[in-house]
Structure 1
């Protein structure tokens, strides 16, 4: 018999965070989070997302052993500002037992009905900067620090319990050598001249900080039309600024500004921390921090984390400026592979942007939906 209990204590929350460590023990593809960071992201006194969202966390037990977990989330910005009466769920992991996955989904269902919401969708996080989607293809590729990995049986569970495909996300990669400068060097100069634009490169994180709020404003503006988008609030900007910007190599952040220094485009690339996180196995100390610092300095794989372009400049070739700058940075750093974060299948603008680099789709993931 399966028993589901709500997470109440810090000890329960640690069990919630650590469950996948046993579920994926020995997997060469699963990338563990840093336990301390994961705990903090669920701490309602530390993560500002809880200003506009609420979450309940559940653990499933069978024979006194933890066999599954789920987070039930309501983002009130989404519900009230956008009128999307959606019950979110994420961090959904379970052994291959249909009774376990059903018991956890039933908890989400109950909360959604109690709050008079219309449907449930997952796996998703609190906002657009969180992980998204259950992996349905590409199980033999290593995960990243910004995606979930899961066993192949997960899809069967979603569909068995009556959830249907809602959104599909593609993950692509290409060799850095495919970014042939002949494709964008000439366009780079033409676009800059035509629109009065210039690139901005950075050597220190401190030089980026004054621009970060503008970057998140542009992020909100760039993605507002996408069906899954929930804007980032001012308090979240401060949180992400402190948590992430100093972690990214300054030369991997590129801005494009107009003649009045208005930000019109940005891109953030991260070194791949996947193998370093596997070595750290959830702990920064004593050696985890050294693995991460080594990856930050020496990783030959990079992840295109975010790209934002002002709607006024979309489809006008502004990305040629960004890619021209990355070409020089990647060449200097000896970057070999470029990996992209999950992108909505319906986002044709982003797919057009990458087409010249001959990307290969190596993973697919989905969110699933069920009416309440």
Structure 2
């Protein structure tokens, strides 16, 4: 018999965070989170997303053993401002037992019904900067710190419970050497001259900080038309600034500004921390922090995390400026492989941006939805 228990204390939340460590034990492709970071994500006193969202956490038990987990999330900005009556769910993991996944999903559905929501969708996080989608292809490729990994049977569970595909995301990679400067060197010069633009490069994190709020404003502006987008609030900007910007190599953050020093485009690339996180196995101490610092300094793989271009400058070749700068940075750092974060299948503009680099789609993931009666 399956029993579902709500997490109501720190011990329960720690069990919630640690469940995948047993589910994916010895899996060479799963990338564990840092337990402390994951706990902070779920802490209402630390994560500002809870100013506009709520979440409840559930564990499934069978014979007194944890066999599944789910986070049931309502983003009230999405519900009230966008009119999307959506019940979100994420951090959804389970053993290969249909009764377990069914019981967890029924719990999410009941919360959605209590709040008069129309449908449920997952797996998703609180916002667009969280992890998204269940992996449906690419199980033999190592995960990243900004995506979920899952067993192949997950897809069967969603479909067995009457869920249908909502959105599909592609993950692509290409060799850094494919970013041939001949493709954009000339364009880079012409576009800068035509639009009176210049690039900004950085060597210190503190020099980036004055630009970060403008960067998030531009992020909100760039992605506003995508169906899944929920804007980043001012309080969240501060949180992400403190949590992430100082840990990303400053030379991996590129800005493009106009003649008035207004931000036109930005890109953030991160070194791949996947193997370092596997070595850390959830803990920063005693050696986890060392492994992460080594990856920050020496990783030959990088992840294109975010790119934003002001709408009036989209499709005008601004990426030539960004890629030209990255080419020189990557060459200096000895970067070999470029990996892209999940991109919506419907986002044709982003696919056009990468077409010259011979990208290979190595993973696909989906969110699934179901109507709430």
TM-score range relative to shorter protein: over 0.9
1:154 is paired with a residue whose SS is helix
Question: Which residue number in structure 2 is paired with residue 90 of structure 1?
Answer: 90
1:87-112 Cα offsets, whole Å, 9 max, x none, are: 00000000000000000000110000
| Match of residue 254 from structure 1 | 254
In the comparison of the two structures, how many residue pairs are matched? 372
Q: Does 1:245 align with 2:255?
A: no
User: 1:168 and 1:110 mapped to 2: Cα distance?
Assistant: 26
Which residue pairs with 1:140 in the alignment? 140
* Superposed counterparts of 1:279-318, under 5 Å: 279-318=279-318
Q: Shift of the alpha carbon at 1:303?
A: 0.1
Match of 1:33? Answer: 33
SS in 1 for 2:244: helix
Secondary structure at 1:191 match in 2: helix
| Helix, strand or coil at the partner of 2:33 | coil
**CA distance, structure 1, for counterparts of residue 197 and residue 120 of structure 2:** 43
In the alignment, is residue 182 of structure 1 matched against residue 197 of structure 2? no
Q: Post-superposition shift, 1:219?
A: 0.1
1:43 maps onto 2:7 in alignment: no
Q: Which residue of 1 aligns with 2:319?
A: 319
Structure-1-length-normalised TM-score: 1.00
TM-superposed deviation, 1:203: 0.3
Structure 2 stretches lacking a partner, 5+ long: none
Partner Cα separation in structure 2 for residue 164 and residue 256 of structure 1:
40
The CA deviation string for residues 194-240 of structure 1, in whole angstroms up to 9 with x for no partner, is 00100000000000000000000000000000000000000000000
Alpha-carbon distance in structure 2 between the residues aligned to 1:272 and 1:290: 15
How does the TM-score come out when normalised to structure 2? 1.00
For residues 63 and 247 of structure 2, the distance between their equivalents in structure 1, rounded to whole angstroms, comes to: 42
The 2-side partners of 1:122 and 1:25 are apart by 24
Matches of 1:299 and 1:174, distance apart in 2: 16
Which residue in the other structure is 2:104 paired with? 104
- The aligned runs of 1:141-180 (5 Å cut-off) are 141-180=141-180
Cα shift readout 1:58-104 (whole Å, capped 9, x = no counterpart):
00000000000000000000000000000000000000000000000
Residue 243 of structure 1 deviates from its aligned partner by 0.1
Task: Please state whether the residue corresponding to 1:276 is helix, strand or coil.
Answer: helix
Residue 352 of structure 1 deviates from its aligned partner by 0.2
Corresponding position of 1:212: 212
Give the Å deviation of 1:15.
0.1
| Deviation for aligned residue 1:121 | 0.1
Shift of 1:143: 0.0
- Between the aligned partners of 1:282 and 1:315, the Cα distance in structure 2 is 41
Matches within 5 A, 1:323-338: 323-338=323-338
CA distance in 2, matches of 1:224, 1:34: 31
User: By how many angstroms is 1:325 displaced?
Assistant: 0.1
Residue aligned with 2:293, SS: helix
Distance in 2, Cα, partners of 1:227 & 1:307: 17
Equivalent position of 1:192 in the other structure: 192
Q: Match of 1:66? A: 66
